[in-house]
Each structure stands twice: as C-alpha cells, then as structure tokens.
C-alpha cells in the first residue's frame, strides 16, 4: 500500500531536496554543537512561505492538510528532529491563535509570525506539574485590565530566543483543577520575567529554559480564549497537533538514522568484507527499517484521522509512542553498527540518540501515551 498520493510524494521529495541542498546536515549539526538556534534556516523557511502552510485561509494561511504538514515535518527532521521542532514548535503553538484568538490577536501576531519576525514558545510544565500538566500552579490574578502573574515554569523550549512570545498555561481559579486554567500570551521581554537556559541532553539548538515570574503584568487582552479555557486549548487541540507533528518528525529522523547506518555498514570493512555481510548486522538493519515503516504508517494514519476530524486520541498517542521509541531504538542500534565512529558528532548518530532520549519524555512521556491508549481502549 502506498499511503501517499502522487502529489504528496512530490511534496515530500521537494521538502527533502530543500533540506539537503538549502539547509544541509552540516548546518544542522553545527547548530546543535554550538547550542545555537537555526535562525538563518527559520528565516529562509519563512521566506518560502512555509510557516503559514497549515493555517486556515481566513487568517492568511494556505489551509494545508495535517497529513501534508506531517510529511513536511518528517522531511525537515531527517537530519535531526530538533531542527524540525525549531521550525514547527512555533507553528503549532501559533495555531492556537488561529483557532482561539480574537480578530485583534490574529492581526497582532499571525502576519508577523508568517514573515518570520516573531516566534512562539509553549510553556505548560512546572516543577510540580510534568505528566500531571493540569496541576499548573503559576497564578494569574486579574487586577483592573491586567493579569498579575507569579510562579515558575520549567522546560520551556525556545522561551529565551529573540522576539519570542510565550504561550503560557496559568491558573486563574483555584477551585477547579482543569477549569481553573487559562492561557496568556507573554512576550519574553516583559518585565518581571527571568528566563534561564538549561543544559539538557537534547533540544540544544532551541534551548530549553526555566522561567521565573515575579508580578508580571499582562494585559487581559492577551488572554487566549476565555478564562478557564486553558486546558481545553492546550490539553486538547494543541497537544494533539503537537503529537502528530513530533511523531512525523521522529519518523523522519529515525529514517535518517537507518539510512546512515545502512550506508556505513556497506562501506565499512572488517575481516576482509563489508560489515553488512555479517548476518547479525543485516538483521539489525532489517528490524530497524521495519520499525521505521510501521512508525511512519501510524503517524500518517493519525494525521489523516485528524484531517477527517474523527476522534483519534488513541491513534495519535500510538503514533507518538511508537515513533519516539523507534527513534530511540534505531539510533542506539545505529551507534552499535557504526562502532566508535557512531559516537562522534560528525556521524550525526549520537545526536539522533540524544534527541531520541528526549522524544519519549517531551510532549507527554511514553508511560502517559500508554495510559491514554489503554483508557481509550476501555472507553470504546
């Protein structure tokens, strides 16, 4: 079965060519090694008009389907999922404005984002609320026409980059765990914010941060949706789109890892022959490719179901779970196949491995995905 149409396959090929020719794996590697945001690539992609592709036409987007977008994320991530995330995390965060923003908010933010002038980071997690994301305690109190925000957020990727607006889950009401949550849009230069980079294993080019908020004043007009809509916005639609996108990204990176391992195995000679000739290596590669193909089909299915607007919590969780674990597995095996060479940054495999370790944690851990799958199985 070929899941994609001829047009989608052409789109896939053109994104792949663009990444290889116009961006290049050396650039992506260097951004990771230098812990530097791939700003030049972000700007190039904005100029190509690709930041606006998945947005509805009534806000100036191209109305691209989730499946076509997933195909794009897959190819953007072929040399590293964090590069794909650097482009797509602001996109699927900005999508919240397209879906829930007022006409003024859409006008304020979306044209500037499509032009590459601003970025978005999403700040859900806190020291005390990781998997239990709805337990967020960062407090926003309405005083006149401003919210005063106090608290601490953790693990916010990209919050410290220039011209970034943080889309933050805050607590506006203590009486109800989920209905007491709201979303505020806070430019990262707002007084009272302190943003500190964290030296995490992955997400090096985007940089993950912790954020301290001390009496941060945010106009009430910067609330997305109504007070109490926070969990519906972030816990529902946002995370669904995020998980479909990252699943596709993990597939792209995992395929990159398998292709590199395969090429290496055919070139590297030991005991007078290519190591590919050893059955143990060939079988390892066969398992790796089988797993990547299965992950790809799960990711495409989830994206297709999201396009058809059918209930797909289980399928999205399966795609995220399997694709993230696939990236972890194939990059670990890729290092094994490459031997010592696989541990060097130049081989790119250690980066896939580090990013694979993050993949089963960020956006909801593997344990949480399994819990959601089982919950959905029981409900039907």
Ligand X SMILES: Cc1cc2nc3c(=O)[nH]c(=O)nc-3n(C[C@H](O)[C@H](O)[C@H](O)COP(=O)(O)OP(=O)(O)OC[C@H]3O[C@@H](n4cnc5c(N)ncnc54)[C@H](O)[C@@H]3O)c2cc1C
Q: How far is the CB of 160 from ligand X (least distance, A)?
A: 11
Element (H, E) at 153: strand 146-157
* Tokens 């990159």 sit on residue: 256
Q: Does 137 bind ligand X (CB under 6 A)?
A: no
Out of 56, 111, 130, 228, which residue is the one contacting ligand X (CB under 6 A)?
130
Q: How far is the CB of 362 from ligand X (least distance, A)?
A: 4
- Tokens standing for 157? 């990727």
DSSP letter for 268, please: -
Phi, psi of 311 (to 5 degrees): -60, 120
Q: How far is the CB of 352 from ligand X (least distance, A)?
A: 15
Which residues does 315 contact at the CB level (< 8 Å), separation at least 6? 298, 301, 302, 305
CA pair distance 256, 357, nearest whole angstrom: 16
Alpha helices in the chain (DSSP H): 6-18, 25-33, 39-47, 66-76, 81-100, 103-114, 230, 239-267, 279-307, 313-338, 349-359, 366-379
Q: Does 327 bind ligand X (CB under 6 A)?
A: no
* Sequential DSSP letters for 297-310: HHHHHHHHHHHTT-
Out of 11, 92, 155, 300, which residue is the one contacting ligand X (CB under 6 A)?
155
CA pair distance 224, 220, nearest whole angstrom: 9
Residue positions counted in the chain:
380
- Strands 181-187 and 139-143 come out as unpaired
Q: Does 70 bind ligand X (CB under 6 A)?
A: no
Q: Which is nearer to ligand X, 205 or 291 (CB)?
A: 205
Phi, psi of 331 (to 5 degrees): -75, -35
Out of 203, 243, 314, 352, which residue is the one contacting ligand X (CB under 6 A)?
203
Q: How far is the CB of 76 from ligand X (least distance, A)?
A: 18
CA pair distance 100, 95, nearest whole angstrom: 8
Out of 138, 200, 240, 328, which residue is the one contacting ligand X (CB under 6 A)?
200
Q: Binding segment for ligand X among 41-49, 53-61, 154-162, 252-260 (CB under 6 A)?
A: 154-162
Q: What three-state secondary structure class fits 202?
A: coil
Out of 77, 138, 331, 358, which residue is the one contacting ligand X (CB under 6 A)?
358
Q: Binding segment for ligand X among 16-24, 69-77, 97-105, 355-363 (CB under 6 A)?
A: 355-363
Q: Which is nearer to ligand X, 281 or 368 (CB)?
A: 368
Q: Does 362 bind ligand X (CB under 6 A)?
A: yes
- Tokens standing for 315? 């399928």
Q: Does 184 bind ligand X (CB under 6 A)?
A: no
Q: Of 244-303, which residues contact ligand X (CB under 6 A)? A: none
Q: Does 76 bind ligand X (CB under 6 A)?
A: no
Out of 139, 282, 371, 376, which residue is the one contacting ligand X (CB under 6 A)?
371
Q: Does 240 bind ligand X (CB under 6 A)?
A: no
Out of 102, 107, 131, 290, which residue is the one contacting ligand X (CB under 6 A)?
131
Q: How far is the CB of 274 from ligand X (least distance, A)?
A: 37
Q: Of 106-125, which residues contact ligand X (CB under 6 A)? A: 122-125
Q: Does 202 bind ligand X (CB under 6 A)?
A: yes
Out of 27, 225, 365, 376, which residue is the one contacting ligand X (CB under 6 A)?
365
* Sequential DSSP letters for 39-93: HHHHHHHHHTT-TTTTS-GGGT-----HHHHHHHHHHHTTT-HHHHHHHHHHHHH
**Contacting positions for ligand X (CB under 6 A):** 122-125, 130-131, 155-157, 200, 202-203, 208, 358, 361-365, 367-368, 371
């Amino acid at each position: 079965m070929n899941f994609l149409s001829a047009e989608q396959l052409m789109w896939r090929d053109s994104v792949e060519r663009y990444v290889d020719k116009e961006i290049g794996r050396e650039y992506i590697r260097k951004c990771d090694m230098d812990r530097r945001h791939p700003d030049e690539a972000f700007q190039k992609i904005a100029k190509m008009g690709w930041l606006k592709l998945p947005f509805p036409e009534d806000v100036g987007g191209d109305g691209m389907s989730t499946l076509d977008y997933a195909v794009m994320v897959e190819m953007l991530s072929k040399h590293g999922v964090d590069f794909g995330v650097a482009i797509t995390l602001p996109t699927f965060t900005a999508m919240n404005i397209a879906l829930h923003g007022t006409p003024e908010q859409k006008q304020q933010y979306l044209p500037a984002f499509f032009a590459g002038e601003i970025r978005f980071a999403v700040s859900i997690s806190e020291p005390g609320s990781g998997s239990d994301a709805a337990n967020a305690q960062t407090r926003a109190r309405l005083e006149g026409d401003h919210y005063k925000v106090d608290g601490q957020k953790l693990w916010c990727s990209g919050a410290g980059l220039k011209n970034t607006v943080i889309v933050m889950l805050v607590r506006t009401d203590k009486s109800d765990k989920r209905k007491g949550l709201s979303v505020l849009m806070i430019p990262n230069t707002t007084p009272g914010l302190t943003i500190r980079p964290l030296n995490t294993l992955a997400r090096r080019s985007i940089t993950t941060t912790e954020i301290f908020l001390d009496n941060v004043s945010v106009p009430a007009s910067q609330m997305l949706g109504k007070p109490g809509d926070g969990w519906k916005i972030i816990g529902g639609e946002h995370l669904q789109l995020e998980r479909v996108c990252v699943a596709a990204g993990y597939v792209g990176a995992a395929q990159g890892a398998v292709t590199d391992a395969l090429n290496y195995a055919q070139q590297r000679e030991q005991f007078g022959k290519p190591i590919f000739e050893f059955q143990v290596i060939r079988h390892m590669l066969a398992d790796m490719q089988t797993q990547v193909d299965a992950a790809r089909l799960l990711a495409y299915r989830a994206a297709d179901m999201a396009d058809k607007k059918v209930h797909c919590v289980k399928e999205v969780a399966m795609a995220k779970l399997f694709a993230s674990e696939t990236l972890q597995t194939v990059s670990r095996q890729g290092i094994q196949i490459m031997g010592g060479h696989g541990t060097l940054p130049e081989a790119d495999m250690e980066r896939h491995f580090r990013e694979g370790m993050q993949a089963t944690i960020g956006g909801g851990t593997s344990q949480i995905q399994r819990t959601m799958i089982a919950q959905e199985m029981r409900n039907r």
